[in-house]
Amino acid sequence: MTALADVARSTPSGEGERGNRPTLAVDLGAVGANVRHFARITPGEVMAVVKADAFGHGAAGVARTALAHGASRLGVTSLDEALALRFRHIDAPVLSWLNPVDANWGAAVREGIEVAVPSAEHLAALAPGARVHLHLDCGTGRDGAEPAAWPGLCAAAARRPDVSVVGVMGHLSCADAPSERGDASGREIFGWGVRVARAAGLDPVHQHLAATAATLNDPLSHHTMSRIGAGLFGIDPSGPGRLTPTLTLTAPLLGVRTVSAGTGVGYGHTWVAPRTTTLGLVGVGYADGLPRSASNRAQVLVRGRRRPLVGRISMDMSVIDLGTEGAQMGDVVTVFGPGTAGEPTVAEWASWAGTIEHEVMTGLGPRLARRMS
Ligand SMILES: *Cc1c(COP(=O)(O)O)cnc(C)c1O
């Protein structure tokens, strides 16, 4: 957590505080509800994926919440992220799956962190006592061992008595569109990979292929465990409805001014007032994660009504066209939230920016005060 966030958290809390600075409210209750949903629909274990600081929500808080609501394991990309969880006294099983060949494998063993192994080079570099999940590329063309290298990797792992192979993992590339052929072929490659591992004499008790989308839409992909990231935070890549949103971003109006028709706003004057109107200023910009590409498209909620952001979103601030209805300095603007009071959602921000919710969430900056509830 950053020093700024610590300052924010050390001040007395209450509604007054919420109003006086840009604040990202993280609803851990919603995270819990989402975890319970996944625990209900999967026969196997739920691994809570808390990479990228739990998609900007705060890894430690999300990890504890997920473990309390039905997740039995945690997943992250780098070993550093896994070690940070241990530093916060979280001792649940953790898997780290994306590391350089010369990572600190000794620390992984000492801290009881399981690691994914995508290559013979990684396998050879492991410290004695390592607990590993062999990682097979099931069609991403990106990470994991290529199928051609898989039998050799399994055989090499079987020749290392000081290393325990506890799992086999894969990842699907087209799970958000379950009718696509990529998904079925990914499932086939994975099934083949598990059979090859067994034939090599390995006993991978954890077999996991599905992330959020496949877990929701493709029961054939479930195996013994699902790795859930986006879904913890209310993102359903296949469409809205089943999960609970987790974030609300609010910011106070720092300034209100009336301008005449023809007034240009922000860098480059990409918006010029077409009539006399009132403008409001909020202290959140692209450094805080508002995508600049949403300039002149995005909306916020002020006094219960949607208002457009106008002009370019700049690094530290954005401007709202408040029209002719009243608003005053200090009014709290809702940038996004669950949508239940009419405010925009993260999904709408993503569509205004031409991206996905994941990118908006993980882009939220350290300057925002985080408030957990
Ligand atoms: C990020 C990630 C996940 C989680 O995916 P979601 O779609 O966010 O649930 C699972 N597995 C791997 C390998 C990942 O990198």
Pocket flag, ligand 1, residue 171 (CB < 6 Å):
yes
Give residue-wise pLDDT tens across range 223-243. 999 999 999 999 998 877 789
> 3.90.1150.10, 1.10.260.40, 2.40.37.10, 3.30.830.10: which CATH number matches 3-24+245-372?
2.40.37.10
Tell me how far apart the alpha carbons of residues 332 and 316 are, in angstroms, rounded to a whole number. 17
Contact 73, 45 (CB under 8 A): yes
Q: Which residue in 51, 208, 358, 367 is the catalytic one?
A: 51
User: Residue 16: which pLDDT band, with cuts at 50, 70 and 90?
Assistant: very low
Residue 267: the pLDDT is 98
Residue 283: the pLDDT is 98
Q: Say if residue 90's pLDDT is above 80.
A: yes
Give residue-wise pLDDT tens across range 164-197. 999 999 999 988 775 656 689 999 999 999 999 9
Ligand 1 atom 4, closest CA: 229
Q: Say if residue 8's pLDDT is above 60.
A: no
Binding residues for substrate, as ranges, are 142, 315
Report which of residues 237 and 205 the model is more confident about.
205
Atom of ligand 1 minimally distant from the CA of 175: 7
Contact 243, 231 (CB under 8 A): yes
State the distance from the centre of ligand 1 to the C-alpha of 240, rounded, in angstroms.
Answer: 18
Specify the DSSP element, H or E, that contains 310: strand 305-310
Residue 175: the pLDDT is 82
Report how far apart the first and last C-alpha atoms of the chain are (Å, whole number).
16
Which residue, among 288, 296, 298, 271, has the nearest Cα to 352 in the 3D structure? 298
Contact 29, 246 (CB under 8 A): no
User: Residue 18: which pLDDT band, with cuts at 50, 70 and 90?
Assistant: low
Atom of ligand 1 minimally distant from the CA of 169: 13
Residue type, 45: E
When pLDDT is averaged across residues 81-103 and rounded to a whole number, the result is 98
Residue 11: the pLDDT is 46
Residue of 37, 227, 236, 242 to mutate, ligand 1, most atoms within 8 A of C-beta:
227
Pocket flag, ligand 1, residue 136 (CB < 6 Å):
no
Contact 218, 182 (CB under 8 A): no
Pocket flag, ligand 1, residue 227 (CB < 6 Å):
yes
Residue 63: the pLDDT is 98
Reported pTM:
0.94
Q: Which residue in 242, 267, 269, 306 is the catalytic one?
A: 267
Tell me how far apart the alpha carbons of residues 12 and 252 are, in angstroms, rounded to a whole number. 18
Pocket flag, ligand 1, residue 250 (CB < 6 Å):
no
State the distance from the centre of ligand 1 to the C-alpha of 301, rounded, in angstroms.
Answer: 32
State the distance from the centre of ligand 1 to the C-alpha of 126, rounded, in angstroms.
Answer: 24
State the distance from the centre of ligand 1 to the C-alpha of 87, rounded, in angstroms.
Answer: 23
Residue type, 162: D
Give residue-wise pLDDT tens across range 112-137. 999 999 999 999 999 999 999 999 99
- Whether 190 sits among the annotated catalytic residues: the reply is no
Mean pLDDT (the chain) is: 94
- Whether 51 sits among the annotated catalytic residues: the reply is yes
Q: Where are the domains of the chain?
A: 3-24+245-372, 28-233
Residue 3: the pLDDT is 47
How do beta strands 264-265 and 271-272 pair? antiparallel
Residue 257: the pLDDT is 97
According to CATH, the topology of domain 28-233 is: TIM Barrel (3.20.20)
Which residue, among 131, 136, 85, has the nearest Cα to 105 in the 3D structure? 131
The percent of residues in the chain predicted with pLDDT above 90, rounded, is: 90
Pocket flag, ligand 1, residue 211 (CB < 6 Å):
yes
Pocket flag, ligand 1, residue 229 (CB < 6 Å):
yes
Residue 15: the pLDDT is 46
State the distance from the centre of ligand 1 to the C-alpha of 46, rounded, in angstroms.
Answer: 12
Helices 28-41 + 59-68 axis angle, to 10: 50
When pLDDT is averaged across residues 331-360 and rounded to a whole number, the result is 97
The percent of residues in the chain predicted with pLDDT above 70, rounded, is: 94
Specify the DSSP element, H or E, that contains 122: helix 120-125
Contact 133, 164 (CB under 8 A): no
Atom of ligand 1 minimally distant from the CA of 97: 13
